[in-house]
Chain A
Amino acid sequence: MNSAVGVRVALIIFVVAILQVSAFSSVTIGRGVPEVLLVALDSVALLRGTLTGAVAGFFAGLIVDVATLGTLGLTSLLLTLVGYWAGRYGETTGRGRPHAPVLAALAATVFVGIGGYAIQSMLGEPISARVVLVALPAALIWNTALIYPVFGLTRRIVGAPERADRAREVELLV
């Protein structure tokens, strides 16, 4: 990945993370909040691979944790894993498949919801699983609706992955 693409990815993540905490998180419809940051991270990871996905996830989480004065590292941990997994999915099974962004967004939403609940519970926070379960379906609908526009926009900004950027492995060109 060249430096120009790296700067663009950093800008996307920074701007979306700031907008997520200051604007999107107050839009509550059907008990769910649009997780634009999660969807943007998914898109970046699908397009640019595991390393970019994981690094972008780490810093996106850090921005969210700092801006919301939350426990540092909590969102970073979740988003690093999401970025890594989405990148890996984009490089392997999901490569070239039109439904890959939707599947990645759905899996990431479920992972962040349940993973976040698990970590908070381990930290001793009194959280009701019901709150997570009630919010999850609405978040899934929101994120499914958002993924294609956000993915398209991200693709225009950071560009499609080049063949040299992809993982070096056997690819059948039949």
Chain B
Amino acid sequence: MVGILVVLALVLMTFSFRKPDSGPVASVESAAASALRPFTIAGERVAQPFRDVYGWADSLLTARSDAKRLRAETEALRQQVIQNQFAANENANLKALLVFRDGPRFPDDYTGLAAAVIARPSGSFAQEVVVAAGSNDGVALDAPVVTADGFLGHVTRVYSRSSRVTLLSDEQLAVSAIAVKSGAAGIVKHGRGSASTLIFDRVPKKVKVSVGDTIVTAGWRSSRLASLYPKGIPIGRVTSVGQADTDLWKQIQVEPFADFERVDAVLILVLKDGQK
């Protein structure tokens, strides 16, 4: 009996791995996932108050230092908003004069599809979450996913009523990015340690990147190829910059804006009609 179960598990694994998005096993998995959905949503709702209490208690510990930091940040941002407003007006006028053709931008050219996180793999292998929105709601494969804080990941599997989102902290995911101040381009990927650290890789040594710089998605486009992610989604802030003689690139660590370990709800970005 045990041997049969082991063989059955191996057969399921083989079929599921070879054809994850099509075939009879995928159809059965999709139907089973739909059947389990109400239970996972119920489990999520039961757990939510406990998570809120934990989050509240946790935030109390850092409330004083957070308030001080945020006050200073607000002052700096207030000044910056005024300058940015002038720059944005000037930019819009110049683009109109040049009849400039741009790619899709975040958030103007996208609509956000809000979805609750209903399940997470518990092992340390996969940095993924399952959300309660699927193809019936308009979710497409590879759609970018954000939270209120910043970039989170992208959709890697879609079923009718649920989808799997792979987080940027996963080893399989990387995103082309730029530093807002210096314009330095590179790739942001998972850090070697915890999910709370990312690496801004492939940045040439001659380019200047400073601690505190904001990193956003690059959203590049070249002939027929284009990045999956629109330009300008905030990813994180540079926390350390270094370089070694033996390395080709700078060693830059980034603290993500999004908290990958505590994601309750996400926004799946769907292009507005008429945008490509």
A contact set with B: CB distance below 8 Å: 18-28, 31, 33, 35, 37, 50-51, 54-55, 58, 61, 63-74, 76-77, 80-81, 84, 112-113, 116-117, 120, 123, 125-128, 130-132, 134-135, 139
Contacts and interface: CB of A to CB of B under 8 A. Distances in A.
Contact of B192 (A69, A116, A128): A128
A69 B164 CA distance: 6
Contacts of A71: 13, 16-17, 20
Interface stretch (B38-46, B87-95, B107-115): B38-46
Contacts of A67: 33, 36, 40, 119, 130
B46 A72 contact: no
A63 to B, nearest CB: 7
A26 B159 contact: no
Contact of B33 (A25, A69, A134): A69
B8 interface: yes
Given A25-B121, A128-B192, A66 B12 contact: no
Question: Could you say which interface size class chain B belongs to?
Answer: 35 or more
A66 B125 contact: no
A51 B159 CA distance: 34
A84 B192 contact: no
Contacts of A113: 123-124
B187 to A, nearest CB: 15
Nearest to A139: B124
Contacts of A132: 124-125
7 contacts: A18-B40, A19-B46, A54-B5, A70-B121, A73-B8, A73-B12, A125-B172
Interface of B: 1-2, 5-6, 8-17, 20, 25, 29, 32-33, 36, 39-44, 46-47, 50-51, 54, 117-126, 128, 130, 157, 159, 162-164, 171-172, 192-194, 261-262
B193 A134 contact: yes
A contact patch SS: helix
A132 to B, nearest CB: 6
Contacts of A54: 1-2, 5
A125 B121 CA distance: 15
Contacts of A28: 261
**Most chain A beta-carbon neighbours within 10 Å: one of B15, B117, B122, B159:** B122
A76 to B, nearest CB: 4
A58 B120 contact: no
B63 to A, nearest CB: 20
Contacts of A70: 121, 126, 128
B125 A125 contact: yes
A132 B171 CA distance: 13
A116 B43 contact: no
B44 A35 contact: no
Contact of B47 (A26, A81, A112): A26
A33 B122 contact: yes
A81 B5 CA distance: 9
A21 to B, nearest CB: 4
A73 B172 CA distance: 21
A68 B124 contact: no
A73 B121 contact: no
Given A31-B124, A67-B119, A69-B33, 11 more contacts: A18-B36, A22-B42, A22-B44, A66-B33, A68-B164, A69-B162, A71-B13, A71-B17, A76-B5, A80-B5, A80-B9
